[in-house]
Amino acid sequence: MEDLTLQVQPVILKFTQVFEIEEFVSSNGGATRVKVYDSIDLQLRDLYKCLHPQIPFSIKAYEPWLASKLTGKDILLYGNWIWYSYENELVHLLPEEEFITVRTSRNKYKITGEEQALLQEKIIGIVGLSVGQTIAIAIAMERGAGEIRLADFDTVDLSNLNRLRCSIADLALNKAEICAREIWRIDPYLKIRVFKDGLQENNIEAFFTEGGKLDLLIEECDALDIKVLARYKAKELGIPVLMETNDRCLIDIERFDLEPNRPLLHGLMGDLNPGLLKGLSQEEKISYLMPMVGLQALSERMKASMIEVQSSINSWPQLASAVTMGAGVAAELSRKILLNESTVSGRFYVDLDLLIPEPPKSFQITETESRPQLLDPAILKAFIKGFRVDPKVEVLSDEEKEGLLSACLHAPSGGNCQPWKFYFHRGHLFIFHEAHHSVSMLDYGNFGTYLSIGAVIENARIFAYSKGLILHYNYFPAAGYTTLVADLHFEKSSELLSYPLSLSELFNRHTNRLFSERKELALSDENNLLDLIGSNRIAQLTLIKNTDQMKELAEILTEAEKLLLLNARGHQDIFEREIRWTKEEAESKKDGIDLATLNMSKAEAIALKVAGSRHVMEWVSKIDGGEAFKRNTKKAIAASSAVGILTMPFQTAEAYLHGGEVMEKLWIKSNSLGLAFQPVTQFSYLLARANNNGESLNSTEKERLKLLHRQLQAIVPQTKSREIVFIFRIGYTEKEAVKSLRREISKMKIYD
């Protein structure tokens, strides 16, 4: 309800005898306590000048005018005395009408007398007084309304004082009350009604209609519920709504008075209504809020700040300059609406950066490796035909070839880039590196590609065993021509073959980025995984299960994830090449990372979208921010049973190919044991780059990666003498991951 017990409400006193003033002062603590301000003579002179603009001021003319005004009474009794009890201040003031005349005289004729009188009849409601305070004061200063209703339940915090004007003595006071007091310090005659509980369902009727219907609602609150509720009511009553959001001075005008059927907030509120709101989770509310705030159109600094909310800052920034500017714009629009000078509805920006543009800054151009052309099948075929192949190999049937190919294509690849091309020729399956798809900051030395092709080979092996065939293969069979990565061929086995992994397990392999509560890794599962590579002397697996060590690892691995996002080239890879933002995009391209597979909350997906702007990321770098980008993987690792680190004695193409075979074995087995498996690989590939040519990394980034390496070596001593080829996390979850797609076979295979 409206608060009628405001301490800040001034009392207007009219004295008829001078001793009454003295009595009032002494009854309030005497002259030492009560501060008396009497500038009535100055005010009367001002009034005289307003009324006689055509003649220069002279005492000679003023004094007789004053004498006739006072009609023999003491000047102390002229007009009113205003008692500000909370300040113990007694101020002598012109009577209301004369006060208004003088106080609005400098509005003329930007505002005519008639308009001023019309505005005097108007009632404005303002909800949300962090920003609304400045608007309310601007309107009050202009006397842009006869009555202002102020609603806010919140009290002032010290952190509000960068944009909200009040004394440090007022901290913890209600914002609406403070606003009323600031206005009454300027104009004690203005009618103000304060709703200290904020706008709520139980006072909305009073706020909008009691004592006269609002002529304009200015909505400046943060809460989605109130935004919706207030608009519903405004629309129902045909009241225009004005909102100023100070980033880029965004203005929304909704003329429900002129367009009663206008959708709320130009349709940006979707199907929201007060009933629906009650059942919404915080997540769902965010997804409604984002189109309302116009996420993509936010300023770069605002976007960067949003990424930092709950990491390095508590809440989004608002500046006094922007609030003040926005208040000026809102007050002007409020007047125009109330005087029927403006009829438009819509969303507008009064953006200084656009209005006063700076010459474009030279912007760092992202270096990219040039992307090779797609391989030319005719050239590859000609090459293979001139290639000597072992003629005594088993030639697969068409059905077997098809089965083999689909097993191969199911292999994982970094960013789901599927960097391969297949060609069957005289019983051999040749695997080429389709470098057009794999150009990436992470694929230093094609290491990621080779891991993926290693996985393809492992899949071919599993397929072969399932058909009673033995797989033979050579890495890089054509010396000096690394585009041809492998030559696979098969031999029929006379004996019954057994292999620890089946074809159905192979097709069950997938990346699962979901997680549930952490469970210890079962000893039998751990042994199962270690046994898979037990006899393999080259590849070694270290499983880190200690939660403190996992936490330290998470810090290292996510720091590298962040570094990649903030790096110009890494950023370009992720945002321009890798992520498929919609289901449609994922389904049409059938490669890349479908956003749906990333296990992101709405808020995280929004942060990722915001992070898509390179300029925004430059800001995040500048402020040394971006901790938010680490959150998701940190949570995932904390919920995992173990982090696995696969190492090899050296860092060669062959080591990665072999590592890829082992990786695929572990991955397939983990999935069949019911373990979610997610690679967390950025660190290892960035480190490989930093330790070699270091291209596309600046010296700080290189140093950072080397420091992270030393930290990792302290946790996993094996990595001091061995090369890390693959890092992953495993954990138990019932949650089903969205499966990623593969390009059509026709795009991956070379036909004869």
Residues binding ligand FMN (CB under 6 A): 412-416, 448, 451-452, 510-511, 513, 593, 678-682, 739-740
Q: Which of 434, 412, 422, 640 is nearest to 518 (CA)?
A: 640
Q: For residues 318 and 452, which CB has a smaller minimum distance to ligand FMN in the complex?
A: 452
Q: For residues 79 and 454, which CB has a smaller minimum distance to ligand FMN in the complex?
A: 454
Distance (Å, rounded) from C-alpha 531 to C-alpha 665?
11
* Beta-carbon-side half-sphere exposure of residue 582 (alpha carbons within 13 Å): 3
Q: For residues 578 and 627, which CB has a smaller minimum distance to ligand FMN in the complex?
A: 578
Least Å distance, CB 287 to ligand FMN, is 23
Q: For residues 511 and 640, which CB has a smaller minimum distance to ligand FMN in the complex?
A: 511
Least Å distance, CB 457 to ligand FMN, is 13
Give ∠ CA 697-554-302 in degrees, rounded to 5.
65
Contacts of 691 (CB under 8 A, 6+ apart): 706, 709
Q: For residues 188 and 679, which CB has a smaller minimum distance to ligand FMN in the complex?
A: 679
Q: Are strands 428-433 and 420-425 parallel, antiparallel or unpaired?
A: antiparallel
Distance (Å, rounded) from C-alpha 197 to C-alpha 117?
31
Q: For residues 116 and 452, which CB has a smaller minimum distance to ligand FMN in the complex?
A: 452
Quick count: other Cβ atoms within 10 Å of Cβ 447?
27
Contact of 122 with 215, CB cutoff 8 Å: yes
Q: For residues 133 and 678, which CB has a smaller minimum distance to ligand FMN in the complex?
A: 678
Taking the chain, what is the end-to-end CA distance rounded to the nearest angstrom?
82
Beta-bridged to residue 484, according to DSSP, are 432
Least Å distance, CB 620 to ligand FMN, is 20
Q: Which helix (H) or strand (E) holds 710?
A: helix 699-715
* Helix/strand/coil (H/E/C) assignment for every residue in 149-198: EEECCCECCHHHHHCCCCCHHHCCCEHHHHHHHHHHHHCCCCEEEEECCC
Least Å distance, CB 439 to ligand FMN, is 15
Q: Are strands 80-84 and 11-13 parallel, antiparallel or unpaired?
A: antiparallel
Least Å distance, CB 535 to ligand FMN, is 24
Q: For residues 435 and 593, which CB has a smaller minimum distance to ligand FMN in the complex?
A: 593
Least Å distance, CB 563 to ligand FMN, is 13
Least Å distance, CB 482 to ligand FMN, is 18
Least Å distance, CB 626 to ligand FMN, is 17
Contact of 725 with 687, CB cutoff 8 Å: no
Q: Exposed/middle/buried for 259, CB within 10 Å: 0-12, 13-18, 19+?
A: middle
Q: Are strands 147-151 and 191-195 parallel, antiparallel or unpaired?
A: parallel
Q: Which of 321, 76, 84, 292 is nearest to 180 (CA)?
A: 84
Q: E strands within 587-722?
A: 593-594, 642-648, 675-679
Cis peptide before 109 (omega within 30 of 0): yes
Give ∠ CA 153-157-163 in degrees, rounded to 5.
95
Q: Which of 373, 392, 246 is nearest to 321 (CA)?
A: 246
Least Å distance, CB 737 to ligand FMN, is 7
Q: For residues 414 and 625, which CB has a smaller minimum distance to ligand FMN in the complex?
A: 414
Closest-by-Cβ residue to ligand FMN is 412
Q: For residues 583 and 739, which CB has a smaller minimum distance to ligand FMN in the complex?
A: 739
Alpha helices per DSSP H over 238-312? 274-278, 282-293, 300-308
Least Å distance, CB 514 to ligand FMN, is 11
Q: Exposed/middle/buried for 466, CB within 10 Å: 0-12, 13-18, 19+?
A: middle
Least Å distance, CB 513 to ligand FMN, is 5
Q: For residues 473 and 683, which CB has a smaller minimum distance to ligand FMN in the complex?
A: 683
Q: Which amino acid belongs to residue 125? A: G
Give ∠ CA 231-235-237 in degrees, rounded to 5.
120
Q: For residues 174 and 459, which CB has a smaller minimum distance to ligand FMN in the complex?
A: 459
Least Å distance, CB 723 to ligand FMN, is 14
Q: For residues 10 and 414, which CB has a smaller minimum distance to ligand FMN in the complex?
A: 414
Least Å distance, CB 256 to ligand FMN, is 48
Q: Are strands 749-750 and 420-425 parallel, antiparallel or unpaired?
A: parallel
Least Å distance, CB 679 to ligand FMN, is 4
Q: For residues 308 and 573, which CB has a smaller minimum distance to ligand FMN in the complex?
A: 573
Distance (Å, rounded) from C-alpha 671 to C-alpha 532?
14
Least Å distance, CB 412 to ligand FMN, is 3
Q: For residues 130 and 681, which CB has a smaller minimum distance to ligand FMN in the complex?
A: 681
Least Å distance, CB 367 to ligand FMN, is 22
Q: Which of 390, 493, 375 is nearest to 434 (CA)?
A: 375
Q: For residues 296 and 588, which CB has a smaller minimum distance to ligand FMN in the complex?
A: 588
Q: Which helix (H) or strand (E) holds 670?
A: helix 653-672
Q: For residues 142 and 443, which CB has a smaller minimum distance to ligand FMN in the complex?
A: 443
Least Å distance, CB 635 to ligand FMN, is 13
Distance (Å, rounded) from C-alpha 600 to C-alpha 554?
18
Contact of 578 with 592, CB cutoff 8 Å: yes
Distance (Å, rounded) from C-alpha 416 to C-alpha 590?
9
Contact of 384 with 430, CB cutoff 8 Å: yes
